C-alpha cells in the first residue's frame, strides 16, 4: 500500500497535554510517531489549547465532553452547548477529501453514529471497556454498518462488548521505548509505584492497604481527579506511607518510576489495556497487577511481574515479597518486542489496509 494521508481525531474531554485524556494522549503520541515512522502523512484534530504532538494539530474550539466513565450505565447521551466534539467532526466532514483514512480515538456516541454519513473510511480505536448502554448499542450498530471498522486494545476489553466481541480487532498498544531507560536495579530503600488518575475505578485504597501491610513507601503519580478517594484511603490506612508525586509528563515520569521495586495496578474496572504496565516494564520495573482487564494480557506471571486474583490484597503483599525472582531486563525486552510504536503501527497499518480495501469493495458494489 502507498503512503497514507491519516487524520487522527483526539478525545473531546480536554486538550492534549492536560492529562484529562488519560491513556488516549499516550496512544495518540505513539500512533503519530509509529505511523509517521512508516512514511505516512499524519495530522491531528483536537480541542484548542492542545500541545504539539509531532504532527500538525488542527485546534478546534468548543465545550468539552463529560467523561463517559463517570456516567451511569443507563445515562442518555449528552452533548454540552457548542460541543467541541461536534465542531471536530464538522471539521472532518469539510476536509475529509484530503485524507485516505480517519482514525477516531474518542469514546463518544457522535463519531460512531456519523461514520456511515462520511465518504472517508473511519477507523475507531476504542479506548475503554463498556461503560454505558446507549454507547454499547451505538457500537453494535457501527460494527454492523461498517464491519472491521472498530478495534480495541485487549481481548478482555472486547469481552465487555458481548454483542460484538468476535467482530472487534484486538491491537494491544505501543510506546516509544527509546524514550524510556532501563533501570537495572531498584533504588534502596525499596519503594513501590502507582501511576494513574486518582479516581474510583483505579483502586487507590488497595494501594494504601499494601503500603500499610508491607511498611514500604508507595509513590503515586497521576492526575488527582478525585481527592475524596485519596482522603478516604488515608483515613482507612493511617499507618500507610503513600506520597502523592503529582502528574508528570512522560519523559519526567520514566525517570521517577525507574527506581521503583515494582508498580502496582489495582483496577476496579476492566482496564482496556494498561499503558502504565508497558511504561513501567520499559524501565525494567516489574508490574504487580490484578488478573483483570488489559494488564492480565501484558504481565507474564513470574517473568515480568505477578498477576494476583482481583481485590486480593494479601496476594499483592505476597507478590511484593517475591520481586527478587524477576529479571528487570526481561521486563524491558517484552516491551521492545511486543509494545513498541513500530510494532503497534504495523498492526494499525494492516488494519487500515483491510478497512480501505473493504470500503472500496463496498463503494464499488453500491
Interface residues toward ligand HBI, by CB under 6 A: 11-13, 21-24, 65, 67-69, 106-108, 127-128
Task: Give the Å distances, CA to CA, from 291 to 92, 95, 150, 283, 285.
Answer: 39, 43, 25, 22, 18
What gap in Å lies between CA 56 and CA 42, rounded to an integer?
8
Q: Are 232 and 259 in contact (CB under 8 A)?
A: no
Considering beta carbons, is residue 22 or 258 the nearer one to ligand HBI?
22
Minimum distance of ligand HBI from residue 214's CB (angstroms) = 29
β-sheet with 122-125: strand ranges across: 56-60, 41-47, 5-9, 101-104, 122-125, 150-152, 169-170
The runs of H, that is alpha helices, within 106-165 are 109-114, 133-145, 155-159
Considering beta carbons, is residue 13 or 277 the nearer one to ligand HBI?
13
Q: Return the residue nearest ligand HBI (CB atom).
A: 22
Minimum distance of ligand HBI from residue 187's CB (angstroms) = 29
Considering beta carbons, is residue 111 or 193 the nearer one to ligand HBI?
111
Task: Give the Å distances, CA to CA, from 178 to 175, 333, 338.
Answer: 9, 12, 14
Considering beta carbons, is residue 107 or 180 the nearer one to ligand HBI?
107
Minimum distance of ligand HBI from residue 93's CB (angstroms) = 19
Tell me the Ramachandran region of residue 359: left when phi exceeds 0, alpha when psi lies from -120 to 50, beta otherwise: alpha
Minimum distance of ligand HBI from residue 27's CB (angstroms) = 8
Considering beta carbons, is residue 258 or 274 the nearer one to ligand HBI?
274
Considering beta carbons, is residue 114 or 317 the nearer one to ligand HBI?
114
Considering beta carbons, is residue 273 or 351 the nearer one to ligand HBI?
273
Minimum distance of ligand HBI from residue 135's CB (angstroms) = 9
Instruction: Kindly report the number of other CB atoms within 10 A of residue 299's CB atom.
Output: 28
Beta bridge partners, 306, equal: 288
Helix (H) or strand (E) holding 275: helix 275-282
Considering beta carbons, is residue 253 or 320 the nearer one to ligand HBI?
253
Q: Which long-range contacts (CB under 8 A, 24 or more apart) does 17-25 make?
A: 17/50, 17/51, 17/249, 18/49, 19/197, 19/222, 19/223, 19/247, 20/64, 20/67, 20/223, 22/197, 22/223, 23/127, 23/173, 23/272, 23/273, 23/275, 24/105, 24/107, 24/127
Minimum distance of ligand HBI from residue 285's CB (angstroms) = 21
Minimum distance of ligand HBI from residue 10's CB (angstroms) = 8
Q: Provide the grid cell at 289.
A: 497487577
Minimum distance of ligand HBI from residue 20's CB (angstroms) = 7
Amino acid at each position: 500500500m502507498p503512503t497514507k494521508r491519516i487524520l487522527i481525531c483526539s478525545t473531546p474531554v480536554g486538550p492534549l497535554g492536560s492529562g484529562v485524556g488519560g491513556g488516549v494522549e499516550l496512544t495518540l503520541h505513539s500512533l503519530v510517531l509509529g505511523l509517521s515512522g512508516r512514511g505516512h502523512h499524519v495530522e491531528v484534530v483536537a480541542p484548542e489549547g492542545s500541545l504539539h504532538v509531532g504532527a500538525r494539530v488542527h485546534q478546534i474550539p468548543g465545550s468539552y465532553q463529560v467523561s463517559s466513565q463517570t456516567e451511569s450505565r443507563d445515562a442518555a447521551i449528552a452533548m454540552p452547548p457548542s460541543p467541541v466534539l461536534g465542531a471536530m467532526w464538522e471539521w472532518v466532514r469539510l476536509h475529509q477529501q484530503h485524507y485516505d483514512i480517519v482514525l477516531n480515538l474518542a469514546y463518544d456516541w457522535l463519531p460512531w453514529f456519523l461514520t456511515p454519513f462520511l465518504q472517508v473510511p473511519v477507523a475507531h480505536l476504542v479506548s475503554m471497556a463498556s461503560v454505558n448502554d446507549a454507547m454499547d448499542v451505538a457500537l453494535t450498530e457501527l460494527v454492523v454498518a461498517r464491519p472491521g471498522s472498530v478495534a480495541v486494545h485487549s481481548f478482555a476489553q472486547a469481552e465487555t462488548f458481548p454483542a460484538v466481541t468476535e467482530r472487534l480487532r484486538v491491537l494491544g498498544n505501543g510506546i516509544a521505548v527509546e524514550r524510556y531507560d532501563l533501570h537495572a536495579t531498584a533504588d534502596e530503600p525499596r519503594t513501590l509505584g502507582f501511576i494513574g488518575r486518582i479516581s474510583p475505578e483505579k483502586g487507590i485504597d488497595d494501594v494504601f492497604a499494601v503500603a500499610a501491610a508491607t511498611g514500604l513507601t508507595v509513590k503515586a503519580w497521576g492526575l488527582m481527579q478525585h481527592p475524596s478517594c485519596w482522603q478516604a484511603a488515608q483515613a482507612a490506612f493511617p499507618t500507610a506511607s503513600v506520597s502523592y508525586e503529582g502528574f508528570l509528563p512522560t519523559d519526567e515520569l520514566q525517570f521517577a518510576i525507574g527506581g521503583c521495586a515494582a508498580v502496582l495496578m489495582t483496577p476496579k474496572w476492566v482496564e482496556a489495556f494498561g499503558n502504565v504496565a508497558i511504561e513501567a516494564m520499559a524501565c525494567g520495573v516489574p508490574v504487580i497487577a490484578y488478573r483483570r482487564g488489559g494488564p492480565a494480557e501484558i504481565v507474564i506471571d513470574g517473568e515480568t511481574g505477578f498477576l494476583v486474583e482481583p481485590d486480593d490484597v494479601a496476594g499483592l503483599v505476597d507478590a511484593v515479597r517475591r520481586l527478587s525472582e524477576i529479571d528487570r531486563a526481561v521486563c524491558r525486552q517484552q516491551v521492545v518486542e511486543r509494545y513498541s510504536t513500530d510494532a503497534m503501527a504495523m498492526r494499525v497499518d494492516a488494519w487500515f489496509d483491510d478497512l480501505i480495501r473493504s470500503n472500496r469493495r463496498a463503494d464499488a458494489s453500491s
